[in-house]
Amino acid sequence: MNRPQPNEYPIWAEAYINKVNQDIFQLLEEQAISIPDLFRRNKEKENYAYAENKWTLKEMLGHIIDCERIFAFRITCFARNEKQPLPGFDENDYVANARFNERNYEDLIEEFAVLRKANLYLFRNLNDEKLHRSGLASGREINVKSILFVTGGHIIHHVEILKERYYVV
Residue type, position 85, single letter:
P
pLDDT at 169: 86
Domain ranges of the chain: 6-165
Q: Give CA–CA dist 21/12, Å, rounded.
A: 18
pLDDT at 60: 98
pLDDT at 113: 98
CB distance 110 to 99 below 8 Å: no
Q: Is the pTM of this model over 0.75?
A: yes
Q: What is the mean pLDDT of each run of 10 residues along the chain (169 residues)?
A: 96 98 98 98 97 97 98 98 97 98 98 98 98 97 98 98 94
Assigned fold of 6-165: Four Helix Bundle (Hemerythrin (Met), subunit A) (1.20.120)
3-state helix, strand, coil split of the chain in percent (to 5) is 65, 5, 30
